[in-house]
Each structure stands twice: as C-alpha cells, then as structure tokens.
Chain A
C-alpha cells in the first residue's frame, strides 16, 4: 500500500479529532487571590499562607500535605527516604519562618515548572522514587482514580497479577 492510500484511510475517518474539547471550559480562577496552587505527587493543594520571594516559601506544617514528606529531627522523611534538612532551607521573614520548597526540590533533584504570574507550581516526580524500577525492575508507585472515584495505588494490586495497559481514544 502506498503512503497516500494509508493516509487517505486514516484521514477519511477524520480519526480522533476533538477540537471542540481543546478548550471547552469557561475561564475561572484557579484559586482565591493571593493564594498559591501546588501540583505535586498527584495532589493539588491550595495554600493561602506563603512567604514572599523568588522561590515557593511554605509554612513547614504544609509540607506533608503537598508532597508527603514530614519534617523530623533526622530530616524530611517520606516512607524509607530521609533527606537531611539544613537551616539554609528555612527563611525568616519578620516573625515567620518559612520552608523553601523550591530549594528542597533542588536538593532532591525534583524538577519543577512554575507559572509565577498565576502563582501555580507543578513539581515533577522525585527521581529517587523510580530507583526500585530502574535498579530492580520493581513496579513504580503510582496513584490514580478510577471512573467510580476509587483511588487505586500500586499497593492495592499486591498479591495479584496485573496487566497495566495504556490506551487512548486517538
């Protein structure tokens, strides 16, 4: 079959074109004025209490709700990972003491994309979270929500054989 014929078959069906779904939503605020939205580890968290500066300065108490890490005497810990935390990660502003989340992300090699004008920060996965897959072929941790609204994690599949398969309408 010639390339043109192949193309005609595909295009004749106008395959998988949903231009009306490109931007179907009415514009609305992502958060209240002055707030910050953080995307991280599959979560979307809105913070109304942040410091001022180039990086994202958060209330240390909010760290856990953002990325699951908890500040402990030995450092910032998540499951079996503990990262030593130095004073350089804290910023004093007046009487407030903030935790510099962007500096922490740099420390653990976690990339981030920020739209500072919209006050939205999107943090990528922590690279070390993939060590077990890259080094030992163990399935990576993930968390998704099914169509019934149930949260499904890798741990939920333990004890069963699982086919994880991706597809798309396209």
Chain B
C-alpha cells in the first residue's frame, strides 16, 4: 500500500483518485494497520463482503479498473501490482508483480484518452469477465456468511462460505479468503495445490499485462 501512496503522491492530480478496497473478511483488524502503515491518503475501503470484486466481476487480487471522467472503463482486470516485489532471502527468493503498471497509470492520468495505455472499447469489453447467475448468487451467499460470522453463528457462516465457493469455483478471492482465516493461511498447501493446477493446465493466474512502455 505504501507503493500506491507514493505513486498517488507522485501523480498529485486533484482530478485523479485511487479507491483501494481491501477484500478482507478479517476486516479493519487485518486491513487497517496496512493502510495506516502506508499513511494512505487515497480512498480506503475495508470491503469485507467483496463488493468491489463482485461489481466488476473480479476473481482475484490485486485487480483494478481505470475509469475515466465519464464513468467509462478504459482498462480492466489485470494483475495490478504497483511494482516488482521480491520476498525471501539471498538464498531463496521469488519475485512477483511488475514495474510497468504504474508508469502506464501515470501516462493515462497525464494524457487521458490520448494515452497509448487506454484500451479500445472492444478490448475493454472482451476483458470484462462474464458472469453467471451462480456468480451473483455466490456473492449473496458470501454476504450471508459474513452476517452470520459477525453475529457469532459459526456453523452457518461456514455453510454459506462453502456455498459461495461451490457456486463460483473460479473465484480465487473466495478460495483464498477462506484459507486466510485458517491455520494453513492463504499460501499454504491448499493454495499451492491450486497454483499447481493452474500451472499444469496452462492457465493464467492473472490475465497477462498488455503494456508496452
């Protein structure tokens, strides 16, 4: 989040906003300190019900949409990392993310519709993920689960979280959100199994970025 804050300050345009939505059922206790550590001044939302992901048909985080002054989507649904990250140590490390996204974002804020990174309406439309009745119902089940959780009805919360998973099995958000609140965490054995399936099936965990700088 601190990287997004730096980018936001570098852009420093009163007609540009970042709405950053933490898809975290753990709520303020989990997401709040991360926002605070970044000294974030953009719009910060702790989105326990995954409202933003549901509205834009996102299935993974981080994902994003660029919306112009008229409310038109000009870019959507990519692995939206603010920079290249490296975790681990000198002996073992992995990198993830990209350094090309934020320069593209800055170019769009500066040049608007003339930016080469604004996608055609046709491309945007093809990048908007299709949704089904079951996907909508999954979010209703997820919201129901969160209501039960917040009132201490754990068995029912588990039941409807599972229903959401079954109704929208492609959603990595529901899958990993559930793991986050388990002993194994979001990057444990279950996640590694899922990731292995993606790799073996040649599927993209994120839609590849189509950005040339």
Contact = CB atoms under 8 A, between A and B. Distances in A.
Chain A to chain B: the 10 pairs with minimum beta-carbon distance, closest first: A17-B185, A27-B152, A170-B186, A111-B137, A124-B136, A22-B181, A10-B187, A122-B144, A124-B140, A165-B64
A59 B80 CA distance: 45
Interface in A128-169: 130, 133-134, 137-147, 152, 154, 157-169
Interface in B23-49: 23-24, 26-32, 34-35, 43-47
A159 B19 contact: no
A123 B141 CA distance: 9
A143 B55 CA distance: 10
A13 interface: yes
Interface of A: 1, 3, 5-11, 13-19, 21-23, 25-30, 37, 39, 42, 44, 109-113, 115, 118, 120, 122-125, 127, 130, 133-134, 137-147, 152, 154, 157-170
Contacts of A6: 94, 192
Contacts of A138: 71-73
B19 A118 contact: no
Nearest to B63: A166
Contact of A144 (B21, B61, B176): B21
A163 B141 contact: no
Contact of A111 (B61, B140, B184): B140
A137 B182 contact: no
A44 B72 CA distance: 29
A123 B133 CA distance: 12
A161 B73 contact: no
Given A139-B67, A161-B109, A164-B64, A17 B184 contact: yes
Contacts of A115: 144, 148, 156, 160
B68 interface: yes
A169 B180 contact: yes
B20 A165 contact: yes
Interface of B: 1, 4, 13, 15-24, 26-32, 34-35, 43-47, 51-56, 58, 61-73, 80, 87-88, 92-94, 105, 108-109, 112, 121, 124-125, 128, 130-131, 133-134, 136-137, 139-141, 143-144, 147-154, 156-157, 160, 163, 173, 176-177, 179-188, 191-192, 196
Contacts of B94: 1, 6, 9
Contacts of B64: 163-166
Nearest to A17: B185
Contacts of A9: 87-88, 92-94
A16 B187 CA distance: 7
B58 A166 contact: yes
A17 B151 contact: no
Contacts of A39: 140, 143-144, 147
Contacts of A169: 22, 24, 26, 30-31, 34, 180
B30 A152 contact: no
B152 A166 contact: no
Nearest to B70: A158
A16 to B, nearest CB: 4
A169 B184 CA distance: 15
Given A19-B181, A169-B22, A157 B136 contact: no
A130 B150 CA distance: 29
A118 B73 contact: no
B21 A165 contact: yes
B182 A161 contact: no
